[in-house]
Amino acid sequence: MAYPLAGKFIVTMLHSVTNAHLAHLKTGSFSQHKALEEFYSEIGDIVDSYAESYFGGLEFIEEYPTSVIIIAGSPLEYMITLKKYVETTRKELPQDSYLQNIIDEMMALITRTIYKLERLK
């Protein structure tokens, strides 16, 4: 079974590395700087794990969307929007536990980053 959203999900999550890195470079807050650094340093490997597991278990994706979701606003607003995107999209992706567990890792990192952006000043 093909999951047309899988390619878009992978691209969106890989793009979050760039979004977070740019926010990391622009912030004047040390705590935001470090929280975003942790996020962009970890999320790429988690997304790569999801993609490779998807390829091995279901199908190889050869074509990816060329447009990505760009979210304006503060780093906290971006992370909250990214969290909502993952929560919504995961329901339309394969429900195999090995893939959903990797999405859980993404969510843990996102929510940990939200906590740090909200509470650690």
pLDDT digit string (tens) for 47-77? 999 999 999 999 999 989 887 766 678 999 9
pLDDT for 2: 66
Question: Longest C-alpha distance within the chain, in Å?
Answer: 46
pLDDT for 73: 86
Residue with token string 């340093």: 41
CB 61 within 8 A of CB 6: yes
Main-chain dihedrals φ then ψ at residue 35, nearest 5 degrees: -65, -45
Q: Is the pLDDT of residue 24 over 80?
A: yes
